[in-house]
Structure 1
Amino acid sequence: MITVKRVFIGNGDESYIQDGFTDGLNIISSYDNHVGKTIVMQAIMYALGANALFPPTFLYRQYFFIIDLEVGDKPLSILRNKDTFVVKDDASIETFEGKGAFDKYWNEEIGHLPSIIKDSSSILAGLALYTQMAFVSQTERNSSKVLGGYFKRDDFIEMVYSVVGLGARQIDSRTEVELKRRKAVLKTRKGELSKQAGMLRKPGTSLAMTSPTADREETTRLIQKLESIKNSIGELQKKRSAAYTRRLKNEALLSELRSLNRDIKVGSVVCLRCGSEEIGYKIPDSDFVFDITTDDMRRQILRTVQRRIDEYGSEIDRLDKDVRNLQRQFNAAAESRELTLEDIFAAREGYRDVEEVDRELSEVVDEIEEINEELKDFARVDKELREDRSSFMDSVLDTMNYVRRTINDDSGIAEYEGLFTTATNVFMGSEATEYYLARVYALAKHVQFQLPIIIDSFRAEELSSAREDRVLPLFRSLPNQVIFSATLKGEEAGKYRGDASINNIDFTGYEVGKLLSDKSNEAFAAKLAEFSIRIA
């Protein structure tokens, strides 16, 4: 399991540090709103790679966010500033420029992230989507969709299936889509040819008397296919060139860093402007500088840069293979039919004559039959996958409905029918609160994700004390760390203090709208120094 130990928020002017988390059930509470509970909750998820959902008055891009974690029994610290991540463990410090690079690191070093099929391609479901299984924000709650603009709710469902081994087929999925597209084209062509053949068989008409030329429609389709492949090759070549450029820049940086030999026996490397012997490395578009004065830190940065070079090399190799594969497809398609300049001109300008209609019609019918046989095989696999998916989702929904019945004993309440509602039937008020509690709990039970469960304002919209008392035992029973936040009423003074099963982090007395101050600046600067970072 992944558990949060400490949270650090700050910059050079103000900061805040929250510790005292336990592995079990934690509730951050206060009697006032706007005292910083949401900022702490969002800081945790933001540092874990989630989308930013901070209150609009909190200018999060001006701050650094650090979380100390335990991943299993391994300590790990993650720093995020904008979309730059720095990860520190006992042995190394690594930097990642962009959420995609951090997603890849997480997938390889911390925990597996599933792949999903989106727009007919296999992509990694990044932390911005993955964390939504475990994280519920106080704002932007909508039971009909996921947070963010790129992924959709179907992507979330596909991600859940993928985690439990029921992901959509990848290469075969694209093949099936292409077969269905080809079958649709052939059916249209069959209709056209049948009509032409019928007309040509009328008395006084003979196929033998027609002039055989290249069929304009088939030529048009071939040329379109060749142009599509050519465009794809061009896009891949652009990506490959960009990867080459990035690798060259990092190789140049590596050479410069290696040239800073600080073990010389006479003299030392100094800054020509100020005379300081301290040197630093600044990541592009970031607000901080790594202090690489020491050999140890410079070695850490060198390892990070070398890893980046290796990753760009792997990307170039992959793109090379993809380009060669598309080039083979282009050549095979081009050789499948001899094209003249007249063919291309006719195809593009819209001219045609009839060419062996009966022969082509026979070939079209044969190809349709072959496609039907292939699609039968896909249907068999799809049927098994659909059955397994249906069984799994039934189990998840059974658990969601069990949680809802446990929380809300109203016998007339409708049951959940999916992980999301329709856009016209969005849950509101306490129903929305119950829905998110049920969904997170059910996914934790059946998907068994390792993330901490973070629910901001878990009693939102007047979830009654009686229903709250039914919720807490459910989440205490999970192996995940659980962090809730709650705003208490005046009569609920000391509500959680007497319960040994709850770790209450009390924000009572915190100033409204002023979580950060200069009181923790020294400790915050010391934490940044662990990453060998100075604020630029």
Structure 2
Amino acid sequence: MRIKKIAFGNASEAFIESRLEERINIIYSDENNKGKTLVIQGLMYCLGNEPIFPAGFEYKKYHFYVQFTVEDNTFEIVRRNSSFIIKTSGGMQICNSVSELKYFFDENICRLPRMLKDGHERLVDPALFFEIFFIGQDKRDTSSIFNKGFYKNDDFISMLFAMGEPAQQSLSASYLEQIKNQIKIKRQRVVMLKRSSARIKVDPEIAAIALADSGSNSFEERKKHLVDIYADLTKLQKQRTRELNRAQKLESLIAELNSLNRNLEEGLVVCADCGSERVIYKSKDLEFEVSNKSVKDSIMGSIKNSIALKKEIIYDLGMQVESIQNQLTQEINKSPPSFREFILFSEGLGEAKKFDEEIAKLLAEIGAFMQLLERGTTVSEKERERQLQALSEILSRVSYYYHEIDKNGRLEFSSLFTKKDETYSGSEGQEFYFCKALALRDYLNHPFPIVIDSFRDGEISTAKEEVMLKLLSEIENQVILTSTLKSEEYIREKYKRTDNINPIDYSPHRDSAILEPKYSAAFKQLLSELNIRTLP
């Protein structure tokens, strides 16, 4: 994968970076606030990463664009908020969420790993996947992944093993039959427990005990915590409903476009107000002209693909809803959003909680059994040993690169993440991230560019930096780095153009003003080639 062009902006201001090459690209300046980090963040955001822009940057006002190649295929992606348009040699694809984008990425660009998460197999999200090759400037904490929340450290490691395609042992037909019987028994038990739970009556004494707890000093904190859980749950439930409604609307849209096609064949469709023959299709934050037959055909194909993806997306959302509901069950004996809800949720908690916990456990077991049936495989003891060996090999490569950079270094690596009380800082942290990125590249042999924002973070010495650049020059992957130079370094042209290094100077940019009107015309042209109309 080679990044060719990065751009972002709107009709009045924009920026385009088209100087990237296949070797080591160093975007540098003599001062901060020249736009280096915004370009990197814009690149990753356009590819599907979570927004990590600074608070003062109103990213929702802009379109983001990236052009890249994978082998002999060229892709162009435009993103605005949660909407994407992807242009390929075969046409265009519209994605209305990151979930849709990841399925398109998996099918058309590069296979994404599938991993077990909470007993269910799911296609990994870009925010976690990108951590194998992207090191951002913010949220650096060597004891955890960058995008904490739904995913944990163990999920990152599971993803690595999934990418490594672990060997698996087939299950026997008799064992598969036993699994089916277990699923049947557990489902019957769940039905019985749900009926019992529904019959539980309000017990005023239990409610009084629960309410008494609200007088403690920690009540407000626990109340806020539960409100946050409710908010997350409600958000996911609404998103799942939107996806279901969207699938139905897409079916209707295909019928409308087919009808439009018949009208165009029999005559012209024109605007009653101005007489224009241009017909616009609007998809959330993006607009396309569909009076052009080739564009319309591409959009029709895109819509049909979107419908096919909806089932998997809705399933993934369902898994997340179930996960948060289980978390809510565990927290339900604390403090709900209000005193009234606190009483309602706490009444009969003793017996109901036992039922809920058993139901949650049974559902998790059923989910795990269903995964075994679908995959027909299980990880053997031998495979677990292989995974430990693979992890050992990765850590060995981390250690190798570390001692290449620092011959006298005393750090020892027993995990891909440090303990919370052993977080590296300064140059040690930067060296750790760098070595891990190269070690993962060696283990996975992945084709993605190594992207490191604030490459010299932590005051990396000149001698160490030279070794790091030498190590990067020895790999086949494209490399994109950003760096802020000291005045004397900039004056003596620290990054000179060589066979391995492509220096890109951002010093001439105005402070905190990388977006300029002079790029607007070219940016509009980029978007028009994808039949996208920019903002006014």
Q: Same fold (TM over 0.5)?
A: yes
Aligned to 1:280: 280
Q: Describe the superposition over 1:444-463 as per-residue Cα deviations: whole angstroms up to 9, x where unpaired.
A: 11111221111001111100
Q: Describe the superposition over 1:371-416 as per-residue Cα deviations: whole angstroms up to 9, x where unpaired.
A: xxxxxxxxx95421221011111111111011111111225x1211
* Inter-partner Cα distance in structure 2 for 1:81 and 1:414: 43
Residue 122 of structure 2 contacts residue 316 of structure 2 at CA under 8 Å; is this kept in 1?
Answer: no
Q: Which runs of 5+ in 2 are unaligned?
A: 183-187, 198-237, 318-349, 352-377
SS class of match (2:420) = coil
Aligned to 1:132: 131
User: Which one of the candidate residues 412, 417, 439 is aligned to 1:415?
Assistant: 412
Residue 145 of structure 1 contacts residue 153 of structure 1 at CA under 8 Å; is this kept in 2?
Answer: yes
Structure 1 pair 220/519, CA: closer, same or farther in 2 (3 Å)? closer
* Inter-partner Cα distance in structure 2 for 1:72 and 1:161: 25
* Paired AA for residue 471 in structure 1: M
User: Which one of the candidate residues 424, 439, 444 is aligned to 1:442?
Assistant: 439
Measure how far apart 1:241 and its partner are: 8.8
Matched, 1:251 2:251: yes
User: Which one of the candidate residues 421, 424, 427 is aligned to 1:424?
Assistant: 421
Measure how far apart 1:251 and its partner are: 2.0
* Paired AA for residue 115 in structure 1: R
Residue 12 of structure 1 contacts residue 535 of structure 1 at CA under 8 Å; is this kept in 2?
Answer: yes
Aligned to 1:207: none
Matched, 1:472 2:469: yes
* Paired AA for residue 193 in structure 2: Q
Structure 1 pair 313/407, CA: closer, same or farther in 2 (3 Å)? closer
Measure how far apart 1:146 and its partner are: 1.2
Measure how far apart 1:308 and its partner are: 2.5
Residue 53 of structure 2 contacts residue 59 of structure 2 at CA under 8 Å; is this kept in 1?
Answer: yes
Aligned to 1:367: none
* Inter-partner Cα distance in structure 1 for 2:5 and 2:454: 20
SS class of match (2:422) = coil
1:39-58 matches, within 5 Å, as: 39-58=38-57
SS class of match (2:77) = strand
Aligned to 2:33: 34
Measure how far apart 1:499 and its partner are: 3.0
SS class of match (1:140) = coil
Measure how far apart 1:52 and its partner are: 1.5
Q: Describe the superposition over 1:346-371 as per-residue Cα deviations: whole angstroms up to 9, x where unpaired.
A: xxx99xxxxxxxxxxxxxxxxxxxxx
Aligned to 1:224: 193
State the percentage of identical aligned residues.
31
* Inter-partner Cα distance in structure 2 for 1:438 and 1:417: 14
Residue 158 of structure 1 contacts residue 168 of structure 1 at CA under 8 Å; is this kept in 2?
Answer: no
Residue 68 of structure 1 contacts residue 78 of structure 1 at CA under 8 Å; is this kept in 2?
Answer: yes
User: Which one of the candidate residues 384, 388, 396 is aligned to 2:382?
Assistant: 384
* Inter-partner Cα distance in structure 1 for 2:526 and 2:433: 35
* Inter-partner Cα distance in structure 2 for 1:481 and 1:468: 18
* Inter-partner Cα distance in structure 1 for 2:75 and 2:382: 41
Measure how far apart 1:507 and its partner are: 1.0
Aligned to 1:66: 65
Structure 1 pair 383/91, CA: closer, same or farther in 2 (3 Å)? closer
Structure 1 pair 222/45, CA: closer, same or farther in 2 (3 Å)? closer
SS class of match (1:16) = strand
Matched, 1:292 2:261: no
Measure how far apart 1:316 and its partner are: 9.7
Aligned to 1:396: 394
Residue 169 of structure 2 contacts residue 379 of structure 2 at CA under 8 Å; is this kept in 1?
Answer: no
Aligned to 1:322: none
SS class of match (1:515) = coil
Measure how far apart 1:90 and its partner are: 2.0
* Inter-partner Cα distance in structure 1 for 2:533 and 2:454: 35
* Inter-partner Cα distance in structure 2 for 1:144 and 1:318: 27
SS class of match (2:421) = coil
Measure how far apart 1:273 and its partner are: 3.3
Structure 1 pair 34/307, CA: closer, same or farther in 2 (3 Å)? same
* Inter-partner Cα distance in structure 2 for 1:256 and 1:266: 15
Structure 1 pair 442/475, CA: closer, same or farther in 2 (3 Å)? same
Q: Describe the superposition over 1:257-303 as per-residue Cα deviations: whole angstroms up to 9, x where unpaired.
A: 1222487588621122333222111113x1x3111121121111111
Moved more, 300-309 or 6-15: 300-309
User: Which one of the candidate residues 465, 478, 482 is aligned to 2:479?
Assistant: 482
* Inter-partner Cα distance in structure 2 for 1:454 and 1:434: 14
* Inter-partner Cα distance in structure 2 for 1:127 and 1:316: 17
* Inter-partner Cα distance in structure 1 for 2:295 and 2:2: 27
Aligned to 1:163: 163
* Inter-partner Cα distance in structure 2 for 1:393 and 1:243: 38
* Inter-partner Cα distance in structure 1 for 2:37 and 2:422: 27
Structure 1 pair 166/308, CA: closer, same or farther in 2 (3 Å)? same
Aligned to 1:147: 146
Measure how far apart 1:436 and its partner are: 0.5
Structure 1 pair 517/122, CA: closer, same or farther in 2 (3 Å)? same
CA RMSD of aligned residues (A): 3.6
Residue 262 of structure 1 contacts residue 269 of structure 1 at CA under 8 Å; is this kept in 2?
Answer: no
SS class of match (2:258) = helix
* Paired AA for residue 418 in structure 1: S
Residue 77 of structure 1 contacts residue 88 of structure 1 at CA under 8 Å; is this kept in 2?
Answer: yes
Structure 1 pair 40/227, CA: closer, same or farther in 2 (3 Å)? farther
Measure how far apart 1:442 and its partner are: 0.4
User: Which one of the candidate residues 299, 302, 310 is aligned to 1:301?
Assistant: 299
* Paired AA for residue 392 in structure 1: A
Matched, 1:123 2:92: no
* Inter-partner Cα distance in structure 1 for 2:384 and 2:478: 33
Q: Describe the superposition over 1:76-107 as per-residue Cα deviations: whole angstroms up to 9, x where unpaired.
A: 11111111111101220110111111101111
* Paired AA for residue 270 in structure 2: V
Residue 3 of structure 1 contacts residue 69 of structure 1 at CA under 8 Å; is this kept in 2?
Answer: yes
The structure with the largest alpha-carbon Rg is 1
Structure 1 pair 50/226, CA: closer, same or farther in 2 (3 Å)? same
Residue 4 of structure 2 contacts residue 18 of structure 2 at CA under 8 Å; is this kept in 1?
Answer: yes
Moved more, 303-312 or 478-487: 303-312
Residue 528 of structure 1 contacts residue 534 of structure 1 at CA under 8 Å; is this kept in 2?
Answer: yes
Residue 13 of structure 1 contacts residue 518 of structure 1 at CA under 8 Å; is this kept in 2?
Answer: yes
SS class of match (2:533) = strand
Residue 10 of structure 1 contacts residue 16 of structure 1 at CA under 8 Å; is this kept in 2?
Answer: yes
* Inter-partner Cα distance in structure 1 for 2:60 and 2:162: 33
Matched, 1:462 2:467: no
* Inter-partner Cα distance in structure 2 for 1:521 and 1:463: 37
SS class of match (1:519) = helix
* Inter-partner Cα distance in structure 2 for 1:171 and 1:318: 26
Residue 7 of structure 2 contacts residue 66 of structure 2 at CA under 8 Å; is this kept in 1?
Answer: yes
TM-score (norm 2): 0.73
* Inter-partner Cα distance in structure 1 for 2:124 and 2:314: 22
1:288-367 matches, within 5 Å, as: 288-312=286-310
Measure how far apart 1:170 and its partner are: 12
Residue 445 of structure 1 contacts residue 478 of structure 1 at CA under 8 Å; is this kept in 2?
Answer: no
Residue 263 of structure 2 contacts residue 269 of structure 2 at CA under 8 Å; is this kept in 1?
Answer: no
TM-score (norm 1): 0.73
Structure 1 pair 318/52, CA: closer, same or farther in 2 (3 Å)? closer
* Inter-partner Cα distance in structure 2 for 1:314 and 1:424: 39
